[in-house]
Amino acid sequence: MTRQPAFQLKRTETIESLGIDVQEYVHSRTGALHYHIAADNQENVFLVAFRTVPEDNCGVAHILEHTALCGSAKYPVRDPFFMMSRRSLNTFMNAFTSSDWTAYPFASQNRKDYFNLLDVYLDATFFSRLDPLDFAQEGHRIEFSETENTDSPLVYKGVVYNEMKGAMSSPVSTLWQTLTRYLFPSTTYHYNSGGDPEAIPDLSYEELIHFYKTHYHPSNAVIMTFGDIPVEELQQRIEDQALSQFEKLSDEITVEDEKRYFSPVRVEEAYALDDEDYSAKTHHVLAWLLGPSIDLEQQLRAHLLSRVLLDNSSSPLRYALESTDLGASPSPLCGLEDSNREMALMCGIEGSEPEKAAEFEQLVLDTLADVAENGVPQEHLEAALHQLELSQREISGDGYPYGMSLILASLSSAIHRGDPIALLNLDPVLAKLREEINDPDFIPAMVRELLDNQHRVRITLRPDAKLASRRDAAEAAKLEAIRQQLDESEKQAIIDQAKALEQRQNQIDDESVLPKVTIDDVPAKMHIPQGSENTLNGFNYHFYPQGTNGLVYQQVIMDLPALTEAEQQLLPLYSYCVTELGCDGMSYQDTQALQSQVCGGIHAYSSVRADVNDEQQVSGYMTLSGKALLNKQAQLTDLMYKTLETVRFDELSRIKELVSQQRTRKEQSVTGQGHSLAIMAAVSQLSPAGHLAHNSRGLQSIRAIKALDESLRDEANLQQLADALSQLHQKILAAPRRFLIVTEAEYQQTLADTMAARWVGAEVKTDKGFVPFTLPATREAVNQAWTTSTQVNFCAKAYPTVPVEHPDAAALTVLGDFLRNGFLHRVVREQGGAYGSGAGQDSADGVFRFFSYRDPRLTETLDDFDASIAWLQSTELEPQKLEEAILGIVSSIDKPGSPAGEAKQAYHSALFGRTPEQRERFRQRILTVTLDDLKRVAASYLKPELASVAVVTSPTAAAELTDQFEVIAI
């Protein structure tokens, strides 16, 4: 191998279980670290990360992450990041701000595209322009609410400012920030790295520049790459484009060890809740600060302890938190946090009362004391190790690209100057742990150490109905005080900055300075796994041969039968209960323990989609899905059979717990998924599947689960619910079944033999009386404002269009990207200050949707959706912009998943008529869309009188809407 001379190879390690070679390099001149993961994978990944350690709550690292992507020395355009997202075939592009690092990753399957993006990312990070107007746009600024009226109130604006207002509207985000503030009293984790909205306006442009110069330097950088591009080729580009122009910094950025408490800390604080009833809305969390995260043995022991205590309902601490009447359900903050320099173990409950704090803490300590005294069953330890091994071996890629998952798993260790390679090769430490768990005192000793650890924090976060109004009043008073102190020149400066920013946002940049790919670079064909139908001893199944690294994926797919409206409403709860209740006479705790010993989890879900030719005609399936290591596949098959055939709906108290858990999760989802929920509401009467989604997964489902949870205080209602779930289950058991297996080709016969032996005779023969699932047709508009506790808004507007096989579906799909790229991004995000916005065709429901995310505006954004349509018709459209929109759609269509995920997607898509042939036809139609097509379909379908609107907002903002909106409290 030819070496790039600027980099010194420190070591190479082969990790056979993952099929990769990992190489560690150091850049001789600057000290930059480079870890390359060589793999036979054409989806190449790049990431550059910088150690960023804020010392206040101003959000400097987060604002810098945004501003760095607004132009650089070589690419002096206003928005190279979003421009490149449109000129690329990337499979992933983003930037992240964590608590102590900021990272800029991307992935692509196209070599030309990869190197295009590499050049832009290197220049963006190492040679940022950091224009003051970009800081004002992305970070914060003040403007007069009436642009040129200096007597009008001042307002804060800025993308990050609004993003964090949205983030901190979430009680769980507030809980996390409160916890870390006390758990880490003196180090960088004490601060909100994203920025506290109250502190963000205190950040000056000069402080941003200083932070950039001291943190965004090769000496403080970690570069990580993955894929099949030769490392010397990557390093030559990295050296030429960036590192050769730097010298080594003398100062080293690091995070010191935290100062330790000598006695526990107990704190009560408040979060804003705009609700008249705030009973059972308090959170309690108990957390311990543990040892260094870069000590792999300590980290895996901590993971093992966390799994043993909290992994599932058979785990002692998890069971205590689930079954206690002190709260509704376990907190989302349960488990091990290992990304910081020092780890933290935490547990908690939600849906409690402030006065229950001491009892909650005592419950946790008593549970731990019992484990310290009596230990845990040996099979629980072996199951926890089994879960660690399974997660080590699984090839992921359905969320992040697989290479990105490996990089992110090891990045924290590299940031803290540990050994990231060791984190990718857990096998040696797992082998050692297998020996250590044979000591009966292994877990009890760790629990005793935890009980003796005095760096313990108890956080109680209670609701406060007046906190938001007090905060708003304080902000208004602060701004008014600023306004009163402004002289005429300062007032004019504010007006001038607003004008200059608007001018900059409207300027047309010379995009030719940026590299790009073209339609000619698009692969001719999609990659869709091919499966086969098979029969063995009367057992019919579908098999997909995929490289799964020794894992087996099994599914039982049942046709959904005709269901009443009440049964449709129950589907999500039913899907959740099937794998969370006991089976085969076992309790749910024993069943959960068995799942952990056997597999990587079993879950059930329903899917309902429309016909490819008619959005009003739907079909549906219920799927039971599991995965396991090959040596556990027979046990997985048996457990899936027992789960389906013998699930226990007589565990009434458990059903009540599950309803409560579902309620709290749904209630917490609003501020994080507000745009998706608003879209579902806007579409709720435009298609049958959309109506079901809104009722079962959307805002209406939150209201329904609340009412259900309240009703279960009556034992008779609980029994009725259990009976209804059991009856629904019997309907599904009587439906026709299909079976799916995904694994390596050489294991097909073994798995087929096992499954045939278990399922033959248990198969359901198609009953001529079986009535398949249908939904009533619907095509009506709504105007709804859904209210909750939020400092920002989520807007959605939808129009009825056409299903996927209609000739206009392709043009409507491209239109979404075209409107976002050409108008919405600039007007709604940059000028309006929303964190995100977009548009797109959903051919499954036959609708076109506009949306905004964490948006400070409401009716203005809805008007901007209309303005984008007018812009389209009145503007001379550029062919280059059409090509960019097409590239964006094709890259999303071609985005790879995990080997198993791609196979499952191919199979389930085909069930709904989205066969490989149909998907390929649609992709080819995308490539032939013209500018005339865009104008024609917009004029045909996006008519004002057809619009259906839904927003998620605060009660105060909803009160200012016109009477045409139906206001509904979530």
pLDDT band at 672 (very low <50, low <70, confident <90, very high): confident
Res 766: pLDDT = 55
Q: Is the pLDDT of residue 276 over 80?
A: no
Q: Is the pLDDT of residue 29 over 80?
A: yes
- Give me the DSSP letters along 579-617: TTS-BTT--HHHHHHHHHHH-S-EEEEEEEEEETTEEEE
651 neighbors 582 (Cβ within 8 angstroms):
yes
928 neighbors 627 (Cβ within 8 angstroms):
no
Amino acid at residue number 499:
K
**Length of the chain in residues, anyone?**
970
Q: Is the pLDDT of residue 765 over 60?
A: no
**Helices 378-393 and 588-598, axial angle in degrees (round to 10):** 50
**Per-residue pLDDT reduced to its tens digit, 504-546:** 999 888 889 999 999 999 998 999 999 999 998 889 999 999 9
Distance CA 694, CA 851 (A): 16
Q: Is the pLDDT of residue 8 over 90?
A: yes
- Across the range 933-947, mean pLDDT stands at 98
210/314 same-domain check: no
Least confident of 394-403, 491-500, 503-512, 513-522: 394-403
Q: Looking at the 3D structure of the chain, how many domains does it have?
A: 3
Q: Which two tokens stand for residue 763?
A: 């198969």
In a domain, 375, yes or no: yes
Q: What is the 3-state secondary structure (H, E, C) of 669-724?
A: CCCCCHHHHHHHHHHCCCCHHHHHHHHHCCHHHHHHHHHHHHHCCCHHHHHHHHHH
In a domain, 593, yes or no: no
- Across the range 570-596, mean pLDDT stands at 96
Q: Is the pLDDT of residue 775 over 80?
A: yes
Give me the torsion for CA of 404, 345, 279, 277, rounded to 10°: -20
Res 769: pLDDT = 79
Find the domain containing 440 and state its range: 265-399+412-464
227/314 same-domain check: no
80/225 same-domain check: yes
- Across the range 792-812, mean pLDDT stands at 97
- Across the range 612-624, mean pLDDT stands at 97
130/232 same-domain check: yes
- Across the range 844-866, mean pLDDT stands at 97
Q: What is the mean pLDDT of the chain?
A: 95
Res 669: pLDDT = 87
In a domain, 285, yes or no: yes
Q: Is the pLDDT of residue 320 over 70?
A: yes
**Per-residue pLDDT reduced to its tens digit, 75-91:** 999 889 999 999 999 99
In a domain, 355, yes or no: yes
Q: Which two tokens stand for residue 537?
A: 């001893």
CB atoms under 10 Å from CB of 223, counted, come to 24
In a domain, 436, yes or no: yes
Give me the torsion for CA of 926, 932, 933, 936, rounded to 10°: 160
239/348 same-domain check: no
Q: Is the pLDDT of residue 694 over 90?
A: yes
pLDDT band at 764 (very low <50, low <70, confident <90, very high): low
Q: What is the 3-state secondary structure (H, E, C) of 270-301?
A: EEECCCCCCCCCEEEEEEEEEEECCCHHHHHH
- Across the range 142-157, mean pLDDT stands at 93
CB atoms under 10 Å from CB of 479, counted, come to 17
In a domain, 612, yes or no: no
First-last CA distance in the chain: 62
State the DSSP H helix or E strand holding residue 573, giving kind and residue range, or none if neither: helix 565-578
48/155 same-domain check: yes
Domain boundary among 474, 494, 513: 513
Q: Is the pLDDT of residue 751 over 80?
A: yes
Res 2: pLDDT = 65
Distance CA 735, CA 431 (A): 45
Q: What CATH number is attached to the domain comprising 215?
A: 3.30.830.10
26/60 same-domain check: yes
- Give me the DSSP letters along 98-128: -SSEEEEEEEES-HHHHHHHHHHHHHHHHSB
**Per-residue pLDDT reduced to its tens digit, 228-261:** 999 999 999 999 999 999 999 988 999 999 999 9
Distance CA 168, CA 165 (A): 5
374/242 same-domain check: no
In a domain, 534, yes or no: no
| CA nearest neighbour of 603 among 581, 632, 635 | 581
Distance CA 490, CA 496 (A): 10
* SS3 of residue 57 by DSSP: coil
* SS3 of residue 795 by DSSP: strand
State the DSSP H helix or E strand holding residue 624, giving kind and residue range, or none if neither: strand 614-629
- Across the range 285-294, mean pLDDT stands at 96
pLDDT band at 124 (very low <50, low <70, confident <90, very high): very high
Query: What is the number of alpha carbons within 13 Å of residue 719 lying toward its C-beta?
Result: 3
899/825 same-domain check: yes
Of residues 413 and 762, which shows the higher confidence score?
413
788/881 same-domain check: yes
Identify the burial level of 769 via C-beta atoms within 10 angstroms of its C-beta, where 0-12 means exposed, 13-18 middle and 19 or more buried.
Answer: exposed
Distance CA 894, CA 130 (A): 34
Q: Is the pLDDT of residue 398 over 90?
A: no
Which residue intervals of 77-183 are DSSP H helices? 80-86, 111-126, 132-138, 159-167, 171-183
* SS3 of residue 283 by DSSP: strand
- Across the range 180-200, mean pLDDT stands at 97
Q: Which two tokens stand for residue 960?
A: 């200012």
pTM: 0.93
Amino acid at residue number 459:
I
Of residues 391 and 689, which shows the higher confidence score?
689
Q: Which two tokens stand for residue 494?
A: 């504010």
Distance CA 718, CA 711 (A): 8
Distance CA 685, CA 681 (A): 8
In a domain, 29, yes or no: yes
- Across the range 437-447, mean pLDDT stands at 96
**DSSP category for residue 272:** E
* SS3 of residue 85 by DSSP: helix
327/378 same-domain check: yes
Q: Is the pLDDT of residue 134 over 60?
A: yes
Residue whose tokens read 């940026």: 514
932/825 same-domain check: yes
Res 400: pLDDT = 84
Distance CA 864, CA 859 (A): 9
